[in-house]
Amino acid sequence: MEEPSILPFPYQFKEISDEEKSIIKRVYNAPIASECVRVGPKGYIVYKPYINDAENIYNMPLRPTDVFVASYQRSGTTWTQELVWLLVNDLDYSTAAAIPLTARYQFLEIFMYFGEEGQDSYLNSSINMANVDMNKLFEIMKLWSTPATQLLANAPSPRFVKTHLPLTLLSPKILETAKVVYVARDPRDVVVSCYHHARLLTVTAYSGTFKEFWNLFHKSLFTLTPYFEHVKEAWDKRHNPNLLFLFYEELSKDLPTVIHRVADFLGKQLDDDQMAKLCDHLSFKNFKNNISVNYEDLREFGLMDENETFVRKGKVGGWRDYFDEDMTQQADQWINDNLQDTDLRFPSTNLIE
């Protein structure tokens, strides 16, 4: 059998400037946070370990049964993952409860957070590790630092993959072969959720204010920004039969309708009883308390700040509690500028008429 040809990774990597690095260092306690580079003409921010597996991700052998859940981070990814997995697996709630979501999906680029720099950042932090099972911790670190492309090579089908990488950094054949569910969210709510997530994860140890985080984000100095380029890549492919584009706001406002759309996309049908049970399972109250999806097991290793949670409030429009008047005006201008060249519109953002 002829071996598939390996495509050279088509994009260049560029170091961020010393000034940009100093801005990041001022608000992060972990060295890994500033050990990043820009990739490709759009300048997506990635941590340096990503470079080592970029070509393998780009050339990842795909199967027709593969299902990707893709998004810019904190856009409703976990919610969508659980929905997709249950539909593909014929509503197998018992297995979903028994096996954490992290084990049901491979997180394609998690290795870039837990390479040598990330592990050093965590192990040299001020976290009290007196009660941590170090053997188990090192097993987890080893697993997470292993490129997912290696783990996926021998994984049984169907394979479920989570990624926050933009489409251009994935295989150019992905929409010819696999199914991709992409979910997007109002960027202002994304910023708020990313801020809390950056505080949550001790591996990066964000210590700045929300306003400082906002400046990082909208100036494209946070992981995998620029945000709008990420979303627009998927939006431009929304008519491809192998990509389903969802909005977080739609999930929040009309979950049954979105479930029907996802079910149709995956070739599944639900009766009224199945729909009612799935809606109840995915209701935010139940989802937040679902230990299979909320990552609470990571607390025993000190990987999560005690004052933050992985699944937070799920609120649409919660950004208003964080943005002052100047930031609101900045955000309005930022959104308007970035929507000028596209018909992309967010359900909760009506700035351009």
Q: For 244-273, write each residue's pLDDT tens digit.
A: 999 999 998 999 999 999 999 999 999 999
Residue 8 inside a domain? The answer is no
- The CATH number assigned to the domain holding 189 equals 3.40.50.300
pLDDT score of 337: 96
The residue range of the domain holding 272 is: 13-339
C-alpha count within 13 angstroms, C-beta hemisphere, residue 290 = 23
At position 134, the amino acid (one-letter code) is: M
pLDDT score of 114: 77
Q: b/e map of 21-46 (b: 16 or more CB within 10 Å)?
A: bebbeebbebebbbbbbbbbebebbb
Structurally, the chain folds into a number of domains equal to 1
Q: Reduced to 3 states, what is the DSSP secondary structure of residue 250?
A: helix
Instruction: Identify which of 128, 127, 2, 85 has the alpha carbon closest to the alpha carbon of residue 293.
Output: 85
Residue 351 inside a domain? The answer is no
Which helix (H) or strand (E) segment holds residue 71: the answer is strand 67-71
* 77-119 pLDDT tens trace: 999 999 999 999 999 999 999 999 989 999 999 999 876 654 5
Residue 304 contacts by C-beta under 8 Å, 6 or more apart in sequence?
A: 200, 201, 202, 295, 296, 298, 310
pLDDT score of 94: 96
3-state SS of 119-147 is HHHHHCCCCCCCCCCHHHHHHHHHHHCCC
pLDDT score of 270: 97
Averaged pLDDT score across all residues of the chain? 87
Counting beta carbons within 10 angstroms of the beta carbon of residue 244, is it exposed (0 to 12), middle (13 to 18) or buried (19 or more)? buried
pLDDT score of 1: 38
Instruction: Identify which of 37, 34, 33 has the alpha carbon closest to the alpha carbon of residue 50.
Output: 37
Q: Reduced to 3 states, what is the DSSP secondary structure of residue 245?
A: strand
In sign, the C-alpha dihedral spanning 260, 185, 194, 266 is positive
Residue 149 inside a domain? The answer is yes
Residue 87 inside a domain? The answer is yes
pLDDT score of 307: 55
pLDDT score of 55: 97
Residue 268 contacts by C-beta under 8 Å, 6 or more apart in sequence?
A: 87, 88, 90
Residue 348 inside a domain? The answer is no
Could you report how far apart the first and last alpha carbons of the chain are, in Å?
Answer: 55
**For the chain, which ranges sit under pLDDT 70?**
1-4, 115-139, 201-204, 290, 292-314, 349-353
pLDDT score of 178: 98
The pTM score is 0.90
Residue 4 inside a domain? The answer is no
Residue 257 to residue 225: CA distance in whole angstroms: 30
Which helix (H) or strand (E) segment holds residue 148: the answer is helix 148-153
Dihedral angle, C-alpha 264, 268, 272, 275, nearest 10 °:
-80
Q: b/e map of 305-326 (b: 16 or more CB within 10 Å)?
A: beeebbbbebebeebeebbeee
pLDDT score of 303: 59
CA distances from 102 to 88, 143, 215 (A): 17, 12, 31
pLDDT score of 105: 96
Strand 67-71 and strand 160-163: pairing?
A: parallel
Residue 98 inside a domain? The answer is yes
Strand 179-184 and strand 67-71: pairing?
A: parallel
Residue 346 to residue 185: CA distance in whole angstroms: 7
